[in-house]
Structure 1
Amino acid sequence: MLPNVVVGGGIVGLATARALQEREPDRPVVVLEKEATLAAHQTGRNSGVIHSGLYYAPGSLKATLAVRGAEAMKEWCAARGVPYDVPGKLVVATSPAELPRLQALRERGKRNGVPVREASPDEIREREPALRAVAGLVVESTGRVDYSRVCAVLGEELTAAGGTIRLSEAVSGIAARAGEVRLTTAKETFAAHRVAVCGGLQSDRLARMTGADPGVRIMPFRGEYRELVPEREHLVRGLVYPVPDPDLPFLGVHLTRGLDGHVHLGPNAVPAFAREGYRRRDISPRDLADSLRYPGAWRMARRYGRVGAGELLRSFVARSFVAAVRRMLPDVRAEDLRPAPAGVRAQAVGRDGRLVDDFLFRRTGAVLHVLNAPSPAATASLLIGRRIADELLTESD
């Protein structure tokens, strides 16, 4: 019997593999991951927040899957003893000019079914004494978890149920044939029944291997974090977010105390010169050339040039990053911060230069490609996996 195959060992890929296994328990499932470990990229390099679904356009996949996916993730963790908690979060306005956006965000949250309420000045001070804000919202359903640990448990369940995880095995070819899909790796070529491609930073390239036109190009954005030195971690008690820019999919510089007690500040979002470029000096000639040859990249630069310049300034000029943090946390000093590991967001960009603002899936026969799944994909991963499995196992025309 031909196996179902998932390309990619991040949280979306593993959730998809488990869902396929549950839908067809008698059919083998194989996960192919090019790295030596699971969750090596976006999954293992994020803030660990279980998002509530507050920000996303009503009716979008992000909104519907995040709201229900957050509850599914909490229930899943509770059933398996995976540590998590639900401290809630504050979203704050730091000036009167932001109040209309804060109110619009509250209304959006209500439309998405997110429990959100206004925070009184006394409650803001009680929750976060060091914070400066003129108004705020409380979102009680926001949680925290270690998504790398979630992936480890998903992998254990997959293999315990008879699945196979093949690490250090990059896919170099995907070709649909009559009744099967041929996959080529450095080690072998073999046939599959159905294939879900959850390739993250490489997703558009993997789509083109099948002859499909993904219609988008992955543009990597490095999210650079700082963290508070231990003796200043008391300045932040929980999760604090600014009012986001509604025209951008990024949430701005925020303050997050993790399950481990460390406080991260950020990220800013700057173009990376490599799809897996976690340091400024990381440059991939191939990745850079791909970006520079893409017309959508230049249109994106024109569209978001002012915002991008601000992000670059905060990246290279430490006092600019500190100034952004001090809008919410005025007692922070430059010496209170130290560098923290960065992540890279796989952001799909259309030919018109617009950032794709929702999850994007494209099926071609027996192959389904996940072409855009940045945050809140980790939050929604269990439901994304079920959706992919349901669609993939439905016979296509």
Structure 2
Amino acid sequence: MNSNASIPATCDVVIIGGGIVGLATATTLIQRHPSLAVCVVEAESHVAAHQSGHNSGVLHSGIYYKPGSAKAITCRSGKALMEAFCDEHQIAWDRCGKVVVATDEIEAERLDAIAKRATENGVEYRRIDTDELREIEPSVAGVAALHVPETGIVNYAKVCEAMRQQILRGGGHVVLSFKVKRIESVSSSVAITDCKNRTIHCGRMINCAGLQSDRILRMAGGHPTVKIVPFRGEYYDLVPEREHLCRHLIYPVPDPSFPFLGVHFTRMIDGGVECGPNAVLALSRHGYDWRTFNPADLLETLRYGGFLKLARKYWRTGAGEIHRSLRKAAFVSALQKLIPSIRASDLRPGRAGVRAQAVTPEGELVDDFLIETTAHAIHVLNAPSPAATASLAIGGKIVDRFDADETK
């Protein structure tokens, strides 16, 4: 069955968003309820067009996340499900391991808190000294580190394509180039219309639209408690002759006052080593570079009180991220904290990704998964990392909620 072979006039469930969370939800829904007619609609011409196809491909262990949080729970269970899915569908993955490196005594103390979380989350790890660190990663400088052998890598775009194929084999539809412009609730059903005036009627809707999720909720008659603010992460690639500098995955100790992990080194499953990312405000919800500018998107962000509060709180950090984006030398300097021998000539421009970050009216970055509901609909409003790793477990939680709503 071709993804665009037919657009059903009616179905039981429409899932908006052909990223990994939407596809995993559809896969799980069809497995659990094979009699349901399920349709995934995606605005772009292929699945995994945004976050799911523009991430670093890490199979996260769950070492950082607050014990008992949705991120911690679904990361652990989702990682096992993802590894099994890849084995079943013959998708290459590698449990390559990573090191979390402290470069001074303050960071070494922070390792204790990370190790405590690792223990509580059931993550296998080992605290290592400088000699052991040099054995694992000879080029890395640090005073202490955690070695996390179960962290892995995979190509999530290939995972999404396998999920798409599984949905089709299960009798579902995946409709591409379907950009939603209107959602209307009519008695006990929902009518979803795209920019070409094609309409699908369904009994239930699940919103996994990522960068557009708050707007989809608003179209459905809801009032989002958060707004999506797009942050761009930019990467460099190590030139091939310098890839030996990174044998595994190399991460810094994260700053607990800032929600992003900082620049790191990531081996890629298809070859190569990525370095990054930074985190800068994107000028469009699909702004993968400084040249991509959407006035309406940017104005919506700048008018949002939550973003203005966030900017006042993190303006110094934000200025540093912009400086690193605009000056390669600053990016190199950040990388040298972990691998001192890195030089500008070792790096060539890589890809970029845009993260859909939910921000509260109080200026807080939502750190965990966030799901809200409206009549006949479930809305995933925040699915930050490790959403790709955890996607099958997240899909299971969404279907659990779907089933609970059905019984009311």
Q: Distance in 2 between matches of 1:184 and 1:261?
A: 41
Instruction: Check whether the contact 1:299–1:352 (CA below 8 A) recurs between aligned residues.
Output: yes
Amino acid at match of 2:127: E
Instruction: Check whether the contact 2:234–2:352 (CA below 8 A) recurs between aligned residues.
Output: yes
The residue that corresponds to 1:165 in the other structure is 174
3-state SS, counterpart of residue 365 of structure 2:
coil
1:139 alignment partner, one of 142, 148, 169: 148
The residue that corresponds to 1:74 in the other structure is 83
Please report the RMSD computed on the Cα atoms of aligned residues, expressed in angstroms.
Answer: 1.2
Q: Distance in 2 between matches of 1:63 and 1:247?
A: 19
What is the CA distance between 1:364 and its match in structure 2?
1.5
The residue that corresponds to 1:296 in the other structure is 306
The answer to whether the aligner puts 1:51 opposite 2:60 as a matched pair is: yes
The residue that corresponds to 2:316 in the other structure is 306
Amino acid at match of 1:182: A
Amino acid at match of 2:94: D
The answer to whether the aligner puts 1:179 opposite 2:188 as a matched pair is: yes
The residue that corresponds to 1:123 in the other structure is 132
The residue that corresponds to 1:330 in the other structure is 340
3-state SS, counterpart of residue 341 of structure 2:
coil
Aligned runs of 1:374-389 on 2, under 5 Å? Answer: 374-389=384-399
Q: Distance in 1 between matches of 2:83 and 2:213?
A: 28
Q: Distance in 1 between matches of 2:97 and 2:105?
A: 24
Instruction: Check whether the contact 2:332–2:342 (CA below 8 A) recurs between aligned residues.
Output: yes
User: TM-score by structure 1 length?
Assistant: 0.98
Instruction: Check whether the contact 2:11–2:38 (CA below 8 A) recurs between aligned residues.
Output: no
1:259 alignment partner, one of 252, 269, 283: 269
The residue that corresponds to 1:60 in the other structure is 69
Q: What do the CA deviations read for 1:42-93 (whole angstroms, capped 9, x no partner)?
A: 0000000000111111111111111111111111111221110101110000
The residue that corresponds to 1:217 in the other structure is 227
* Range with bigger deviation, 240-249 or 11-20: 240-249
What is the CA distance between 1:329 and its match in structure 2?
0.4
Spell out structure 1 runs of 4+ moving beyond 3 A.
none
Q: Distance in 1 between matches of 2:190 and 2:403?
A: 14
Q: What do the CA deviations read for 1:250-299 (whole angstroms, capped 9, x no partner)?
A: 11000011112201100000001000000111100110111011111110
User: TM-score by structure 2 length?
Assistant: 0.95
3-state SS, counterpart of residue 265 of structure 1:
strand
Instruction: Check whether the contact 2:155–2:270 (CA below 8 A) recurs between aligned residues.
Output: no
What is the CA distance between 1:21 and its match in structure 2?
0.9
The residue that corresponds to 2:7 in the other structure is none
- Quick one: percent identity of the two aligned structures? 50
Q: Distance in 2 between matches of 1:183 and 1:326?
A: 50
The residue that corresponds to 2:350 in the other structure is 340
Instruction: Check whether the contact 1:274–1:282 (CA below 8 A) recurs between aligned residues.
Output: yes
1:230 alignment partner, one of 223, 227, 240: 240
The answer to whether the aligner puts 1:100 opposite 2:72 as a matched pair is: no
Q: Distance in 2 between matches of 1:106 and 1:349?
A: 28
The answer to whether the aligner puts 1:368 opposite 2:381 as a matched pair is: no
The answer to whether the aligner puts 1:283 opposite 2:262 as a matched pair is: no
The answer to whether the aligner puts 1:353 opposite 2:386 as a matched pair is: no
1:34 alignment partner, one of 43, 49, 52: 43
What are structure 2's unaligned runs of at least 5 residues? 1-9
Q: Distance in 2 between matches of 1:2 and 1:280?
A: 40
Q: Are the structure 2 counterparts of residues 127 and 170 from structure 1 closer, same or farther at C-alpha, using a change threshold of 3 Å?
A: same
The residue that corresponds to 1:111 in the other structure is 120
* Range with bigger deviation, 34-43 or 305-314: 305-314
Q: Distance in 2 between matches of 1:120 and 1:135?
A: 5
What is the CA distance between 1:248 and its match in structure 2?
2.4
Instruction: Check whether the contact 1:348–1:372 (CA below 8 A) recurs between aligned residues.
Output: yes
Amino acid at match of 2:405: E
Q: What do the CA deviations read for 1:133-191 (whole angstroms, capped 9, x no partner)?
A: 11000112111100000001000111011111110011112222322111111242231
* Range with bigger deviation, 171-180 or 4-13: 171-180
3-state SS, counterpart of residue 177 of structure 2:
coil
Q: What do the CA deviations read for 1:220-244 (whole angstroms, capped 9, x no partner)?
A: 0000001111111111111010000
What are structure 1's unaligned runs of at least 5 residues? none
Q: Would you say how many aligned residue pairs link Structure 1 and Structure 2?
A: 397
What is the CA distance between 1:249 and its match in structure 2?
2.3
Q: Distance in 2 between matches of 1:74 and 1:167?
A: 27
